[in-house]
Structure 1
Amino acid sequence: MKYITGIFAALLAVLLLFMYPLYEQARSQDKIANAIVQGAATHFIDSVRTKGYITPQMYEEFNTKLAATGNQYDVQLEHLHKRYNPDYNDPANPLTFQGSFTTFYDGFYTEQILAVLFPDNGRSPEDAARRYTMEVGDYIGVKLKNVNRTAAVQLWDFLMNDNTEENAAVLMNYEGMILNEDY
């Protein structure tokens, strides 16, 4: 009985003196990654909001900042283009205009935005045709989550003898309205 108690005490000591501090260090790395991702996303979206466009250089700089965390991310961009539709009693008769407009948004997403930024036509990154432009009143947003299993998630699964399905330890959503058209 004494032998089993000694083994249990040694395992508990290893767990408390080694594994828990290692897990806390990994969690702090996730917190630092979260702060870096938040700063990068805020800087990127705020730059887009004040300029009214995205260039390949801006997008690559954003991805470089994300890569500095050591994680891989699923980056989803969303551009909502503001549109106005005049209200008519009879759409076929322009004389029935009601004097009001209905506002709606057309959505453009990552694939459509990246197709403008990185076309297969060999143009230089500075070419104005590779600039994704927006208008004042539009909305731009980014949604990020890591797709790899961070060290903290792996250690937690090891300690708890679990298999966490959700990998995302770093999540970020940030969006805003376009304030300027500087193109």
Structure 2
Amino acid sequence: MKYVTGIFAALLAVLLLFMYPLYEQARSQDKIANIVIQSAATHFIDSARTKGYITPQMYKEFNAQLAATGNQYEVELEHLHKQTSPDYSDPANPVTFQNSFTTYYSGFYNQQILAVLFPDGTLPSDDPSRRYTMQVGDYIGIQMTNKNRTAATQLWDFLMSDNTQENSTVLMNYEGMVLHEDY
């Protein structure tokens, strides 16, 4: 019985002295990664909002900041282009204008945005045709989650004999309205 108690005490000591501090260190890395991607996403989206466009260089700098965290991310860009349409009681007759307009948004996502930034051709990265432009009143946003299992998630699963199957411990959503057209 003494040996069982001694073995249990030794395992508990290993757990408390080594594993828990290691887990806390891994959790702090996740928190630091959250701060880094929050800063990177805020800077990227705010730059796009104030300039009214995204360039390949802006996108590459943003990705370089994400890579510094050591995690892989699923990045989803969303551009909502504001459009207005006049209201008519009879669309075929311009005299029936109702003195009002309907506002709606057309959505553009990664596929359309990245096709403009990185076309198949050999244009230089500063070519104006590779600039993704927006208009005042549009919305630009980003959603990010990590794709890999961080060390904190793996340690938690080990300590709890669990398998969370959850990768997204580093998350970021940010969006805003385009304020200027500086092109």
Give the TM-score normalised by structure 1: 0.99
* Residue 173 of structure 1 pairs with residue 165 of structure 2: no
Q: Deviations over 1:138-165 (max 9, x none)?
A: 0000000000000000000000001111
Q: Is residue 75 from structure 1 mapped to residue 44 from structure 2 by the alignment?
A: no
Separation in 1, partners of 2:31, 2:60: 23
- The residue aligned with 1:11 is 11
CA-atom RMSD in angstroms: 0.4
What is the CA–CA distance in structure 1 between the aligned matches of 2:22 and 2:111, rounded to whole Å?
Answer: 39
Write the deviation string for residues 2-53 of structure 1: whole angstroms up to 9, x where unpaired: 1111000000000000000000000000000000000000000000000000
Q: Which runs of 4+ in 1 moved over 2 A?
A: none
Match of 2:118 in 1: 118
Alignment of 1:21-170 (within 5 A): 21-170=21-170
SS at match of 1:37: helix
User: Which whole-Å CA distance do the structure 2 matches of 1:29 and 1:182 have between them?
Assistant: 37
Cα shift at 1:168: 0.7
How far is 1:62 from its partner? 0.2
Please give the secondary structure, in 2, of the residue aligned with 1:78: strand
Structure 1 stretches lacking a partner, 5+ long:
none
For residues 32 and 17 of structure 2, what CA distance do their matches in structure 1 show? 23
Structure 2 SS opposite 1:112: helix
Q: Secondary structure at the match of 1:21?
A: helix
Identity of aligned residues (%): 77
- Aligned-partner Cα distance in 2 for 1:164–1:61: 33
Shift of 1:121: 1.2
AA at the equivalent of 1:31 = K
Shift of 1:166: 1.3
Q: What is the alpha-carbon distance in structure 1 between the residues aligned to residue 13 and residue 45 of structure 2? A: 47
Cα deviation digits, residues 92-136 of structure 1 (max 9, x gap): 111100011000000000111000000001111000000000000
Give 1:72 deviation, angstroms.
Answer: 0.3
Structure 2 CA distance, aligned partners of 1:32 and 1:71? 12
In structure 2, C-alpha distance between the alignment counterparts of 1:84 and 1:112, rounded to whole Å: 21
- Partner-residue secondary structure (3-state), 2:179: coil
Q: Which amino acid aligns with 2:28?
A: S
C-alpha distance in structure 2 between counterparts of 1:135 and 1:98, whole Å: 26
